[in-house]
Amino acid sequence: MSNLQTKQRLEFQDILDLYTSGCKERMLHKIGLEYERLPVSVVTNKAVDYGSEFGVCAFLRAFAKSENWDYITDDYNIIGLKQGHDTITLEPGCQVELSVEPQFRIEQLEKKVAELDKQMAPVLDKLGITLLGYGVSPLSTHKMINLIPKRRYALMAKYLWGILSDVMMRETAGIQVCFDFESEEDAMRKFKIANKLSPFVTAMFANSPVRGGVDTGYKSFRALSWLNTDNERCGFANKLQDDFSFDEYINYVMETPVIFINRNGVPVNFNGKINFKEFMLSGRDGYEPELEDYLLQANLCFPDVRLRNFIEIRNHDCGGRKTPYAVLALYKGILYNKTAMDEIEELFKPYSYHDFSELRYNVPKSALDAKICRHAAKDIAKEILYISEKSLIEQDNGEEKYLDYIKEFALQGITPADVLIRNWNGIWNKDIKKFIKYLASC
């Protein structure tokens, strides 16, 4: 008999309550940030591994000891650290992710990340590690990067069927930002706007043209890897229809194949043989669904915009120190101002779901040079920035200054990747050491 049979059966309403619990008054709306970076050896310029003497696990141990952080473990292996609401965790290829407690103001997040960077710096320096703000491993490819010893990552690596899923898991680093909502209606409006914005913002912040020591011909190879990871769980979570709802998003998650569930801390491999809706109806191999199974299932779906009890926007290449706050400011100016949302909806009114989807597929190669219908993405990006900046000025918190970084590129119709490509083929003469030195300085 399953040890879960004594528990109350999971119902759809239990899942729906997860999302409705996120509804908050506007005055309580905060912003959140997850900031991944690539650990690279200052000696070899190669990706730093997990378990060596000067590896990422050694960094976690030393930092925990010096700053009194607690371990996060998986089967006794250290896979991250936590202190209060802040975490330092590892992505599958040892990418280091900072996740700090949500705040009301961008400067509060900036101050917290700067404080953590200052604390980490002497430990990283001692081990000869630099954390690069860049979207894809510049020298080491996935064949040279081992998965960290986290059991779920081994199952994911075996299951994800896209031709670049290993690149996504082991080589890429991104920036994710989070926003609150006040009602289901507000959540769905922001969700649809964020999805439509996502290919333009991916283009604006494109920052991964060089991979494996060569110019790939793509301005965001990271975005390309996500297009080739698993179409059942990546991309847009809906067709941006007007009647989209919490129920519809839940159905999207439930119709996705189940990779695994956890029982007593041990993964149970389903290998995609059933989807979560079927698991809800009939169970599987003596296991009945729990709420934690749905949370895991939702976490193993990777749309560009993910719905939780907040909205998570996930589609940005990692960049230098100013990048996370520019991303936050751009979205905050739009999603936390109803007039700005009206203007964005009006800007996007001529375009269909197919138009946005096609743009998403063209952005990795062309970034702002891509077109939506007959219109240049670079021109629409300028309009998006104008709307966001105007809103931030009206909010009167001085946060429009955080847009200056990306405005410098976008107003010229270029991206960070364009600058890298120009220097790569110019003054750096395709020297990976100079390339990485530049990234480290940013």
Q: How far apart are CA 80 and CA 88, in angstroms?
A: 5
User: Would you say residue 293 has pLDDT above 90?
Assistant: yes
Which candidate, 23, 24, 31, places its Cα nearest to that of 397?
31
Asked if 100 and 30 touch (Cβ cutoff 8 Å), the reply is no
Q: What is the pLDDT of residues 18-37, one digit of tens each?
A: 999 999 999 999 999 999 99
What CATH fold (topology level) applies to the domain 28-218+309-441? Creatine Kinase; Chain A, domain 2 (3.30.590)
**pLDDT tens profile 171-190:** 999 999 999 999 999 999 99
Return the closest-CA partner of residue 412 out of 378, 375, 377, 366: 378
pTM of structure:
0.96
Which residue is associated with the tokens 């949302």?
341
Cα radius of gyration rounded to whole Å, the chain: 21
Question: DSSP label at 97?
Answer: E
3-state secondary structure of 380: helix
Strand partners, 261: 268
* Region 182-204 average pLDDT: 98
> According to the model, what pLDDT value does residue 4 have?
43
Specify the residue for token string 């020298």. Answer: 139
- What burial class does residue 208 get, using C-beta atoms within 10 Å of its C-beta: 0-12 exposed, 13-18 middle, 19+ buried? buried
Asked if 138 contacts 318 with a C-beta cutoff of 8 angstroms, the reply is no
Residues with Cβ < 8 Å from 21, sequence gap 6 or more? 309
Domain boundaries, the chain: 28-218+309-441
